[in-house]
Chain A
Amino acid sequence: MDILAQQLVNGLILGSIYALIALGYTLVYGILGLINFAHGEVVMIGAMVTISCLGWLLGMDLQVSPFLLITGSLLMAVPVCALLGAGIERLAYRPLRNAPRLAPLITAIGVSIVLQNLAMIIWGRQYIPFPDILPHEPIHVGPATFLPVQGVIVALSALLMVGLLVLVHRTRLGRAMRATAQAPSVARLMGVSVDRVIASTFVIGSVLAAVAGVMVSANYGQAHAYMGFMLGLKAFSAAVLGGIGNLAGAVVGGLLLGLIESLGAGYIGDLTGGFLGSQYQDVFAFLVLILVLVFRPSGLLGERLADRP
């Protein structure tokens, strides 16, 4: 029982991070029908910028709490990522908006490779350690333990997800986003500045990515120019699992994928009598993904999209 509780906590932490990144994929897909493969790299840039700023702040020797320092650095990383997101959209996607669907997909991969190499030129090839300023004392809740930073990760993810839902469903910008998602040409006729809405979507997605980047690097204590690739792939799968284009779906998909990975690694050996071990944890996660897609091709919460013009 103790182990189960701990595995659920592990899955929840991992899942919160996946969900936050998955939101970025799903937001852009919902509006443009485009899979922004560079999103994982925005997460990486967010982590890198935060660590650099953190190093700079630590150098000033301010006597404040580590969480405040991280918040400060995050506030510097957010505009960088927001600009980056808007820039990617402007340079790599907007000129191709009316091109065949494969063209922006290829530029997305191109942007992702460019960003990886750019990060390697700026920050080097090595793993970048996250400054060791966070408390190491675990918090015990019942039989499970977690670090304070992990508690912050889960709470902050939840807060951001709720914030995003409110933004999309309760604000003017959100309404414009939904209108653009339904029919860009009609939205334009109704006076919605489609270009601006799309740029805002990329900015919002990138801000979430920046926060996720900080969470990942703080949680694992390191960042690397290639960290975005695997994370992006997992988060993208989570978005598909939940129903890509659907915001609640991304959250459900992310949490579910985190839990499946965690429980899969923890129990697959016992369930199969040792025949399969934790080396199958990714296989297990993707098997669930395949099964869901076979029976629900548009994902758990996805709706069947009408063909776009």
Chain B
Amino acid sequence: MHITRHASFTMALLAAALTVAGCSKTEQAPRTTPDGKRIIVIGHAAPLTGAQAHIGKDNENGVRLAIEDLNREGFTIGDQPVHFELDSEDDQADPRMATTVAQKFVDDGLHAVIGHLNSGTTMPASRVYNAAGIVEISPSATTPKYTQQGFGNAFRVMANDVQQGRVLGRFAVSELGAKTIAIIDDRTAYGQGLADEFEKAAVAAGGKVVVREYTSDKASDFTAILTKIKGQKPDLLFFGGMDGQGAPLAKQMRALGLTSQLLGGDGIHTAEFMKLAGPAADGVVASLPGRPLESLEKGPDFKKRFESQYGKIQLYAPYCYDAMQVLARAMQRAGSTEPARVIPELKKTDYEGITARIQFDDKGDLKQGAITVYKAVGGDWKVLKTVESN
């Protein structure tokens, strides 16, 4: 009996320790740099520790590069030279931690936050930002619920799960020719949301979902559910989740002799996935909202500059860069950083970004949500097709 008590005690302690670790310095606005520029602190939140830390760091670097660019070009707001500063916090991909981080930003008097990375963290955090009335632009949260809450202050620069799931569902049936489909999701807001939308679209397009299984965003063994799926012999297996799970999943499919086509969303469209899955990555199909970086005017230049500073783009860094640029330009047009004046300007955004032409609809979603489907060939993601989702 001792043991069970110890275990629960451990959990409580762990939670307490993590909460303490999340708190750090406080910032006082307004401050100025030695050369008289006004300092504007921008919040950024993503998992910087834990299983998705590599993607979180990638996000942070995307925002950082945008801030460096803006500071270098001598950006002004209301004719006053400004200097952006980044306050990047770790939300651990944990919804509870996300609200703590959000509250810290609010308490520090920040006016705008780029984040969070995950749908599951963005949702609870958005309530905190909305109550405080500060701007939130998520680079990568794709759950449709985020912008359906009717918050005027919530924006995102990426197509949502409805748009992406719809494209993937149709693509699976019409382009990949799948008649029978198996689905696995990781039960996060993102994985489950995307899998739900995929299922709807695939069924509407004439596909048949023969089995739906579940895992977690911390799992690494999928042999049990894959064995079950193998018994159903589906043409295609859709995975709603991230690369840390997608890669061992692809490997275990091979080991078990499950030959279904593996299809996933943006969560597995990473450089890391290629490295982890090795030869098992070959032939995997995955989508990414937006157009291919190479096809956009400023894309290749961004890629070159980013990779020379921070290494390979993992996933959402370009979206983070765009989010920061869009935010800075709205502040400039408003001549202020006050959210009440910035938000109306954000809604009027029409910005040619590195991922897409960014315009928001009245909910804060992207107006044009192009989605590109890629196939893994020899360790690289090759473009199969770009689909307009609207």
Contacts and interface: CB of A to CB of B under 8 A. Distances in A.
Contacts of B243: 127
Interface in B215-255: 215-216, 218-221, 223-225, 227-228, 230-231, 243-244, 247-248, 251, 254-255
A69 interface: no
B378 to A, nearest CB: 14
A14 B221 contact: yes
B54 A127 contact: yes
Interface in B1-56: 1, 3-4, 6-7, 9-10, 13-14, 17, 48-51, 53-54, 56
B48 A125 contact: yes
Contacts of A120: 49, 53
A266 B272 contact: no
Contacts of B51: 127, 224, 226
A246 interface: no
How would you classify the secondary structure of chain A's contact residues: helix, strand, loop or mixed? helix
Interface centre among B9, B219, B276 (most CB of A within 10 A): B276
Contacts of A220: 220-221, 248, 251
A277 interface: yes
A170 interface: no
Contacts of B54: 124-127
A64 B227 CA distance: 33
A301 B326 CA distance: 63
Given A127-B54, A224-B244, A279 B187 contact: yes
B247 A277 contact: no
Interface in A148-194: 150
A222 to B, nearest CB: 5
B137 interface: no
Given A127-B272, A136-B254, A35 B3 contact: yes
A58 B276 CA distance: 17
Interface stretch (A2-10, A48-56, A78-86, A91-99): A2-10
B53 A126 contact: yes
A277 B213 CA distance: 7
Given A221-B251, A277-B214, A278-B214, A3 B221 contact: no
A147 to B, nearest CB: 5
B58 to A, nearest CB: 10
Nearest to A261: B224
B314 to A, nearest CB: 8
Contact of A138 (B50, B257, B272): B257
B221 to A, nearest CB: 6
Given A221-B247, A278-B215, A266 B57 contact: no
Nearest to B271: A126
B252 to A, nearest CB: 8
B214 A109 contact: no
A229 B86 CA distance: 31
Given A6-B256, A105-B10, A113-B17, A126 B272 contact: yes
B227 A266 contact: yes
A298 B277 CA distance: 42
B276 A127 contact: yes
Interface in B187-229: 187, 212-216, 218-221, 223-225, 227-228
Nearest to A289: B4
21 contacts: A6-B256, A7-B224, A109-B17, A124-B54, A125-B48, A127-B51, A127-B244, A132-B279, A145-B255, A145-B256, A145-B257, A221-B276, A221-B278, A224-B51, A240-B3, A244-B3, A262-B223, A266-B227, A266-B228, A279-B187, A282-B216
Can you list the 5 inter-chain pairs with the closest CB atoms, starting with the nearest?
A125-B53, A279-B214, A265-B224, A126-B54, A132-B278
Given A10-B224, A109-B10, A266-B227, 8 more contacts: A6-B227, A109-B17, A127-B247, A132-B279, A136-B279, A226-B50, A266-B228, A277-B213
Interface of B: 1, 3-4, 6-7, 9-10, 13-14, 17, 48-51, 53-54, 56-57, 187, 212-216, 218-221, 223-225, 227-228, 230-231, 243-244, 247-248, 251, 254-257, 272, 275-279
Interface of A: 2-3, 6-7, 10-11, 13-14, 35, 37, 102, 105-106, 109, 113, 117, 120, 124-127, 129, 132, 136, 138, 145-147, 150, 216, 220-222, 224, 226-227, 230, 236, 240, 244, 261-266, 269, 277-279, 281-282, 293, 297
